[in-house]
């Protein structure tokens, strides 16, 4: 097990309520008021630089809200050398903003010095598991804290995978000591596009490991004559994803839940409306657990 310090000892913990992703379209709302959300999540890379409006705003907001740093550019599963300069910038952001949660993705992003700036899928093999586990351990040791790892949407399935996604993520938790950020929408997208039972994946994940849930919208598109779901974070959460979220809460209990919206970002009220719906589901879950 890595040398991991409790998240709670390093800052504010997340309440099992709904938060939203802080996006530039809503800076004015948060600068001028205190919208009723339980926490804020930002993309870590947007806070790599010391100056500018965003870091200054987050410095102020983190006195009112617990903050999560969600990395999108590290590509932990990339087979070649880990970008340690990038890790150092994450560490600097963690020192500055003292987040309640630090998260990354179970993905790769770069090879042979070309970075694709995307969350590219890993095969679910022993080799990929060993590699990703080692990288997660290294990151956790560097940050001296547990990191949550998020499942990504997949539009390609690898023929040589020897595990299901649920088995892979459960083994990652066991081997690295990380927690999981369960993106319920990604799970739904994958289940629809690739064709598997999402409930089976939920059942394979260790309940204590799930530290945060993401909810987002997806869009149905035709690609090369095939209809599929694209994880575009550009619409309300679908009813199918809400239903899967209820199943996730039944299995994992009340878990801090983020409403993610990255494209065609609407007025904040729409996100708050989605957050209230998540809060209602969490309230039912809290009552059940009491």
Partner 1 sequence: MPGLLELQRSFASHLLGQPGASPEWAEGRSLSALAGLRIYRNNARATFERALELTYPVLQQKVGTDYFRQLAYHFRAAQPSRTGDLHDIGRRFPEFLETHLAGTPYAWLAGLAALEWAVADAGVDAGGPSVGVESLAALPAPELEFVVLVLAPSLRLLHSAVPVLSIWRAWQPDGDRRSIDLDEGSEFVRVHRHSNGVMLRAIEAREFAFVVAMAAGSTLGAALDASQLPLALLPAVLQRLFIDGVVSAVHPPGRPR
Rounded to whole angstroms, how far apart are CA atoms 237 and 258? Answer: 11
Task: With CA atoms as reference, report the closest residue to 37 among 52, 20, 21.
Answer: 20
Query: Is 122 or 285 the residue whose CB approaches partner 1 more closely?
Result: 122
Task: State the pairing for strand pair 219-223/226-230.
Answer: antiparallel
How far apart, in Å, are the Cα atoms of 231 and each of 18, 147, 236, 268? 20, 23, 12, 20
Does residue 3 interact with partner 1 by CB under 8 A? no
Does residue 195 interact with partner 1 by CB under 8 A? yes
Contact 255, 211 (CB under 8 A): yes
Number of residues that bind partner 1 (CB under 8 A): 52
Query: Is 108 or 252 the residue whose CB approaches partner 1 more closely?
Result: 108
Query: Is 12 or 43 the residue whose CB approaches partner 1 more closely?
Result: 43
- CB of residue 242 vs partner 1: minimum separation in angstroms? 22
Angle between helices 53-61 and 84-97 (to 10 degrees): 40
The contact mask relative to partner 1 for 223-262 (x = CB under 8 A, - = no) is xx-x-x-x--------------------------------
Does residue 79 interact with partner 1 by CB under 8 A? yes
Does residue 19 interact with partner 1 by CB under 8 A? no
Rounded to whole angstroms, how far apart are CA atoms 152 and 168? Answer: 12
Which residue matches tokens 């598109």? 221
Query: Is 53 or 276 the residue whose CB approaches partner 1 more closely?
Result: 53
- CB of residue 95 vs partner 1: minimum separation in angstroms? 14
Considering only residues 140 to 169 of the shown chain, the ones binding partner 1 according to CB under 8 A are 154-160
Degrees (nearest 5) of the Cα angle 7, 11, 15?
75
Rounded to whole angstroms, how far apart are CA atoms 35 and 188? Answer: 29
Rounded to whole angstroms, how far apart are CA atoms 244 and 223? Answer: 25
Does residue 86 interact with partner 1 by CB under 8 A? yes
Paired residues of 41 in beta bridges: 21, 68
Does residue 33 interact with partner 1 by CB under 8 A? no
Stretch that binds partner 1, among 102-110, 175-183, 233-241, 282-290 (CB under 8 A): 102-110
Stretch that binds partner 1, among 78-86, 141-149, 269-277, 281-289 (CB under 8 A): 78-86
Considering only residues 206 to 225 of the shown chain, the ones binding partner 1 according to CB under 8 A are 223-224
Exposure string over 49-83, b if 16+ CB within 10 A, otherwise e: eeeeebbebbeebbeebbbbbbbbbbbbbbeeebb
Does residue 123 interact with partner 1 by CB under 8 A? yes
Query: Is 8 or 84 the residue whose CB approaches partner 1 more closely?
Result: 84
Binding site for partner 1 (CB under 8 A): 45, 48-53, 72-75, 77-80, 83, 86, 89, 108-118, 120, 122-123, 125, 127-128, 131, 154-160, 192-195, 223-224, 226, 228, 230
């Amino acid at each position: 097990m890595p040398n991991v310090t409790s998240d709670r000892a390093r800052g504010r913990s997340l309440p099992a309520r709904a938060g939203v992703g802080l996006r530039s379209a809503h800076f004015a709302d948060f600068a001028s008021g205190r919208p009723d959300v339980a926490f804020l999540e930002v993309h870590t890379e947007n806070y790599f630089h010391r100056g500018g409006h965003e870091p200054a705003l987050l410095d102020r907001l983190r006195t009112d809200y617990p903050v999560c740093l969600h990395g999108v550019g590290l590509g932990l599963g990339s087979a070649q050398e880990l970008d340690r300069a990038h890790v150092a910038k994450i560490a600097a952001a963690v020192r500055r903003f003292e987040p309640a949660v630090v998260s990354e993705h179970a993905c790769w992003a770069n090879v042979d010095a070309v970075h694709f700036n995307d969350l590219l899928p890993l095969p679910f093999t022993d080799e990929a598991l060993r590699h990703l586990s080692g990288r997660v351990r290294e990151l956790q040791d560097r940050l001296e804290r547990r990191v949550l790892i998020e499942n990504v949407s997949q539009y390609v399935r690898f023929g040589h995978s020897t595990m299901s996604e649920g088995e892979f993520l459960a083994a990652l938790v066991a081997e690295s000591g990380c927690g999981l950020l369960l993106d319920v929408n990604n799970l739904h997208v994958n289940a629809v596009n690739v064709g598997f039972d999402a409930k089976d994946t939920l059942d394979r994940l260790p309940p204590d490991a799930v530290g945060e849930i993401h909810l987002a919208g997806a869009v149905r598109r035709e690609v090369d004559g095939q209809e599929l779901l694209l994880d575009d974070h550009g619409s309300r959460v679908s009813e199918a994803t809400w239903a899967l979220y209820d199943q996730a809460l039944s299995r994992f209990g009340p878990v801090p839940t983020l409403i993610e919206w990255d494209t065609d970002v609407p007025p904040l009220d729409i996100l708050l409306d989605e957050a209230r719906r998540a809060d209602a589901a969490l309230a039912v879950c809290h009552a059940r657990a009491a």
